């Protein structure tokens, strides 16, 4: 039963700074007057609006439908009126605007009629996936990949292990911790449904050892469900980035996800605790995903804590609610201090992937001119993917992207450990992201030019063929003409002959 844990190479022991946001229970953020709903809050295609401007919507009413396979629906987080569908700033590092639906709330917070499922086992796995998709559920760990896809074992793969990620390894973030402490039972509801859908042999709830209260809450909840015999809790050591999917899999199962592959390839599916909770709500309560728990913390936050917040709530309002000392438009971090994005602007909304808002970081990295790389290799010694960041950096800097790729650039998970330890303070991850985008752009261009060349060559071949056919036809026509002429001549000759004879 208790197999020895594996471990991943490298990693960091980081100061957690989690106590600040775990002193108070989860609080509800007040409903904002205006909810800004970006149509794309997930990986994949943006949802397509199905309500008109001026239309009244109820809380939980579907306002946009999934478009294509990798996409999910979107729901009104509260009741009110759609007042606009327009481009609006979104919380994205590019700072670009995107299409958003803006709902003016009426304060009644009136639900649409919900359809709860009493016994999920009466449904097929396919039906469950459909419900999850219709409920707009995406991975709440931060990436926002549509969850229904990850609840499909596929035809060739058999799922041995469903892994629930309770390793919130980034400093400051505590939303999963608080969710486990307060809603362990709700999480297990979802876990059971996920296991049923995936036909997973076993379920492992992996929780870091720096969350003793979450751990005991989960243990208690699991103990009260004696029928969940194939589910167990595994305590994993706290080390950044244990919560990375690949790293957690390595720690818990000692297996490695193949490069360019998926966990499913080795019989593992990994979901976030918050996602499981959302799945439980969707099935047992008929509630679509319209809110999430957001950690608001940092040096400048007075009432730090976790807030159950409706999607579309302006981040500035949430920060004000948490009593944040902040200038107007002062920058903040969305996500954790190691992998989050640096944003500014008061009009940005909370979306499905917003796990943490961080204002004011301790030991923040200074914006300083980096020194040259001295090849000390500290970066390689902390790299959880066993890469040689110093070599990838060398080649990325020289724009020798082919070599960077040869040093397995694309296995970099951008955890930032190398940046953290670099004595020259080189922004390594930024270089790697730059190299990745350059390579991908080049590949796309290559594809485009391949396509163009194909088209050109096909056209050339067609023209050649047509030319040949034309020539062939001409030849045939000529031949026919010649033949008919010859025949005619012959006939003429024959006629003459006959005539001669007659004469």
Partner 1 sequence: MALFRISPPYLAGANRVTKQMLQVLLAMVPAVIAMVYFFGVAVLINIALALVVGLLAEILMLKLRQRPIKPFITDGSAAVTAILIAVAIPPLSPWWLTVVGVVFAIVFAKQLYGGLGYNPFNPAMIGYVLLLVSFPLEMTTWLPVSSLAENPVDFHAAFQLIFHGETGTDWVADTVSGATPLDAMKTQIGQSILPEYIINQNLFGFAGGLGWEWINIWFAIGGIYLIYRRVISWHVPVAMLAALFIISGLTSMFAPEMTGSPIFHLVSGGTMIGAFFIATDPVSGSTTVKGRLVFGAGVGLLTYIIRIWGGYPDGIAFAVILMNMMVPLIDYYTQPKVYGAVK
338 binds partner 1 (CB under 8 A): yes
Q: Which of 139, 141, 142, 171 binds partner 1 (CB under 8 A)?
A: 171
- Rounded Cα distance, 112 and 429, in Å: 45
Phi (first) and psi of residue 325, to 5 degrees: -80, 110
Binding map of partner 1 across residues 63-102, x = CB under 8 A, - = no contact: ------------------------------x---------
Least distance from C-beta 473 to partner 1, angstroms?
A: 55
385 binds partner 1 (CB under 8 A): yes
375 binds partner 1 (CB under 8 A): yes
CA 104, distance to chain mean position in Å, is 28
331 binds partner 1 (CB under 8 A): yes
Q: Which of 264, 390, 396, 436 binds partner 1 (CB under 8 A)?
A: 390
381 binds partner 1 (CB under 8 A): yes
Tell me if 422 is assigned to a ligand binding site.
yes
Q: Which of 41, 79, 306, 391 binds partner 1 (CB under 8 A)?
A: 391
Which three-class secondary structure state does DSSP give residue 165?
A: strand
Q: What is the DSSP letter of 206?
A: E
- Identity of the residue, 210 or 424, whose beta carbon is nearer to partner 1 in the bound complex: 424
Strand partners, 357: 296, 334
Q: Considering Cα of 200, then 242, then 261, then 152, what sign does the dihedral take?
A: positive
- Rounded Cα distance, 373 and 419, in Å: 12
- Vertex 398: Cα angle to 395 and 399 (nearest 5): 85
CB 210 within 8 A of CB 22: no
- Rounded Cα distance, 293 and 436, in Å: 32
Q: Which of 160, 182, 308, 330 binds partner 1 (CB under 8 A)?
A: 330
Least distance from C-beta 7 to partner 1, angstroms?
A: 12
- Rounded Cα distance, 149 and 99, in Å: 24
Per CB under 8 A, contacts with partner 1 among 352-371 are: 359-361, 363-367, 369, 371
Which three-class secondary structure state does DSSP give residue 489?
A: helix
Per CB under 8 A, contacts with partner 1 among 399-458 are: 407-408, 411, 414, 416, 419-425, 427, 429-430, 433
- Rounded Cα distance, 430 and 407, in Å: 17
- Identity of the residue, 232 or 397, whose beta carbon is nearer to partner 1 in the bound complex: 397
- Rounded Cα distance, 311 and 355, in Å: 12
Least distance from C-beta 248 to partner 1, angstroms?
A: 12
259 binds partner 1 (CB under 8 A): yes
**Burial letters 23-37, b for 16+ CB under 10 A, else e:** eeebbebebbebbbb
Q: Which of 50, 53, 376, 460 binds partner 1 (CB under 8 A)?
A: 376
**Burial letters 75-85, b for 16+ CB under 10 A, else e:** bbbbbbbbeeb
CB 99 within 8 A of CB 85: yes
8 binds partner 1 (CB under 8 A): yes
Feature table: binding site for [4Fe-4S] cluster: 373, 376, 379, 383, 412, 415, 418, 422
Chain residues that interact with partner 1, rule: CB under 8 A: 8-9, 12, 14, 93, 171, 246, 250, 256-261, 300, 327, 330-333, 335, 337-342, 359-361, 363-367, 369, 371-378, 380-381, 384-388, 390-391, 407-408, 411, 414, 416, 419-425, 427, 429-430, 433
Annotated binding residues: 373, 376, 379, 383, 412, 415, 418, 422
């Amino acid at each position: 039963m208790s197999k020895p844990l594996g471990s991943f190479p490298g990693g960091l022991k980081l100061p957690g700074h989690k106590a600040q946001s775990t002193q108070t229970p989860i609080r509800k953020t007040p409903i904002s007057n205006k909810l800004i709903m970006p149509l794309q809050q997930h990986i994949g295609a943006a949802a397509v609006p199905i309500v008109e401007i001026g239309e009244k919507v109820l809380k939980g009413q579907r306002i946009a439908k999934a478009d294509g396979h990798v996409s999910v629906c979107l729901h009104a987080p509260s009741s009110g009126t759609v007042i606009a569908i327009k481009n609006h700033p979104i919380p994205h590092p590019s700072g670009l605007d995107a299409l958003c639906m803006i709902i003016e709330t009426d304060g009644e917070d009136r639900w649409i009629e919900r359809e709860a499922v009493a016994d999920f086992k009466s449904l097929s796995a396919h039906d469950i996936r459909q419900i999850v998709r219709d409920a707009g559920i995406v991975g709440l760990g931060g990436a926002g990949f549509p969850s229904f896809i990850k609840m499909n074992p596929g035809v060739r793969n058999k799922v041995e292990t469903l892994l629930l990620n309770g390793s919130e390894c980034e400093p400051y973030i505590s939303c999963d911790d608080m969710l486990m402490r307060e809603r362990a039972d709700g999480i297990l509801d979802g876990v059971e449904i996920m296991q049923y859908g995936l036909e997973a042999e076993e379920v492992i709830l992996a929780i870091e050892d720096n969350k003793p209260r979450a751990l005991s809450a989960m243990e208690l909840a699991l103990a009260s469900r004696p029928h969940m015999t194939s589910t167990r809790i595994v305590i994993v050591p706290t080390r950044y980035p244990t919560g990375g999917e690949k790293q957690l899999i390595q720690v818990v199962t000692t297996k490695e996800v193949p490069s360019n592959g998926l966990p499913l390839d080795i019989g593992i599916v990994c979901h976030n605790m918050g996602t499981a909770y959302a799945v439980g709500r969707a099935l047992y309560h008929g509630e679509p995903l319209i809110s999430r728990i957001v950690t608001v913390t940092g040096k400048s936050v007075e009432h730090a804590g976790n807030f159950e917040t409706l999607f579309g709530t302006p981040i500035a309002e949430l920060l004000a609610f948490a009593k944040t000392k902040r200038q107007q438009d002062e920058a903040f971090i969305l996500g954790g201090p190691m992998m989050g994005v640096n944003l500014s602007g008061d009009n940005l909304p909370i979306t499905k992937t917003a796990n943490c808002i961080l204002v004011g970081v301790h030991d923040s990295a200074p914006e300083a001119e980096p020194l040259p790389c001295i090849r000390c290799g500290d970066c390689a010694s902390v790299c959880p993917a066993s890469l040689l960041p110093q070599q990838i950096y060398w080649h990325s800097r020289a724009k020798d992207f082919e070599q960077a790729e040869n040093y397995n650039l694309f296995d970099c998970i951008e955890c930032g450990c190398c940046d953290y330890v670099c004595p020259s303070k080189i922004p390594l991850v930024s270089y790697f992201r730059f190299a990745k985008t350059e390579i991908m752009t080049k590949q796309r261009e290559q594809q485009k030019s391949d396509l163009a060349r194909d088209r050109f060559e096909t056209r050339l071949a067609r023209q050649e063929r047509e030319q040949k056919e034309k020539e062939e036809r001409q030849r045939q026509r000529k031949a026919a003409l010649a033949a008919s002429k010859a025949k005619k001549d012959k006939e003429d000759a024959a006629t003459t002959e006959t005539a001669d004879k007659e004469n």
